Amino acid sequence: MNIKPIYFHTLALTGFFGLFALLMLWNTVLAPSHDFPVALKLLITVTPLLLPLRGLLSKNTRSCAWMAYISLIYFTHGSIETYATTTERIYPVLEFTFSLILFFGTTLYVRYSGK
């Protein structure tokens, strides 16, 4: 069975851009925080995603591996928020889902790229 790594890279990009859009919308439009400034929340939540972005877009396997590690932070945050939040569960569930898509996409891309 010959699996092309481009499919997994596309899956990883889908997870990345879904997670990025969700975090931007969640913290600004959908449910902005009244305790912290919006800019601070965006700086804390979005910055780790942007660090290996250039390598992810250029299909660098090392950057894809780092993106897989970073996605586990969002997986943990999404699972804890899903358990702790009772009113708005859809946003943490989406964060959980997109982080899993990103993790499996990057991991399988690194595995099957064969470099």
Look up the domain containing 32 and give its range: 5-113
Residue 16 and residue 49 in contact, taking contact as beta carbons nearer than 8 Å: yes
Q: What is the mean pLDDT of residues 95-109?
A: 96
pLDDT at residue 1 above 70? no
Name the domain count of the chain: 1
pTM to 2 decimal places: 0.91
For residue 103, the model assigns a pLDDT of 97
Helix (H, G, I), strand (E, B) or coil at 96: helix
Residues 28-42: tens digit of each pLDDT? 998 888 888 989 999
Instruction: Calculate the average pLDDT of the chain.
Output: 92
- 70-101: buried (b, 16+ CB within 10 Å) or exposed (e) per residue? bbeebbebbbebbeeeeeeeebbebbbbbbbb
DSSP conformation class of 1:
-
Tell me the CA distances in angstroms from 94 to 4, 63, 89, one per residue in order: 27, 24, 9
Q: What angle do the packed helices 90-113 and 5-25 form, to 10 degrees?
A: 150
Task: Give the ranges where 1-115 is alpha helix by DSSP (H).
Answer: 5-25, 38-50, 53-57, 61-84, 90-113
What is the pLDDT confidence band of residue 71, given thresholds at 50, 70 and 90?
very high
